[in-house]
Amino acid sequence: MMRQLRLVTLCAALAVFALAAAAALANRQTVRDARAETKALKKNGRLDIIRATAGHQGELLKHVVTMRRRVDPDRPKERPLIGLNARGGPHSDPEFLVFGADVFKVRAGKDPKRVGGAELSSRGRRWAYLFDPAQIDLKRYGWAAIATRGKTFDVAPAGRYKNHRA
């Protein structure tokens, strides 16, 4: 009897875990970007985005940007940023930017205003951002990963935002 109870408890725990994992994966999105699509990106693989992912880690939003070459955390000007578009069209300027340890609200003609914090980590070819969705106070938003330095520029997805549920 005790053995059957343990088996039922184990099965119930596995079912709950499987449902939680399925829900987390269902709200994860990945976009792929072309490699070395310009001369400038061919020369600097640390700025060449090849994949960007949006998802969740617990209650936080998680955005991961994978570059063509190994990243160097000691080069802060090469960190990608995440553009968040809440109310505009698929091609409008972002209303929020996540960069380094900060989330900024951006308005045309005004200086960016810091609205909260973010956590940035790097490993290998990946940069990962974690931040609280309450800072952007939206249920849905469009996002894009952006890498820029000087005349070198890359965006994923190219040409428009990818919609995500906070």
Is 23 contained in some domain?
no
Asked whether 48 and 69 are in contact (CB, 8 A), the reply is: yes
Is 55 contained in some domain?
yes
Question: Two tokens at 166?
Answer: 């906070």
For 9, 11, 20, 59, 111, the CA distances from 15, given in Å and listed in that order, are 10, 6, 9, 21, 49
* pLDDT, tens only, 45-85: 889 999 999 999 999 999 999 999 999 889 988 999 999 99
Any idea which residue has 């109870």 for tokens? 5
The share of the chain scoring above pLDDT 90, in percent, equals 46
* pLDDT, tens only, 3-49: 555 544 443 444 434 334 434 444 788 989 889 888 888 888 889 99
Is 22 contained in some domain?
no
Is 9 contained in some domain?
no
Range of the structural domain that residue 107 is part of: 29-165
**Other beta carbons within 10 Å of 48:** 25
Is 2 contained in some domain?
no
Count the domains in the chain: 1
Is 5 contained in some domain?
no
Tell me how far apart the alpha carbons of residues 35 and 59 are, in angstroms, rounded to a whole number. 32
* Cis amide bond preceding 157, omega within 30: yes
Strand (E) or helix (H) holding 2: helix 2-26
Q: Is 90 helix (H, G, I), strand (E, B) or coil?
A: coil
* pLDDT, tens only, 116-146: 999 999 999 999 999 999 998 777 889 999 9
What count of residues does the chain have? 166
Q: What is the pLDDT of residue 132?
A: 94
* CATH code where residue 34 lies: 2.60.40
Q: At 39, give phi and psi (nearest 5°).
A: -60, -45
Is 19 contained in some domain?
no
Average pLDDT over the chain reads: 83
Is 10 contained in some domain?
no
Q: What is the pLDDT of residue 2?
A: 54
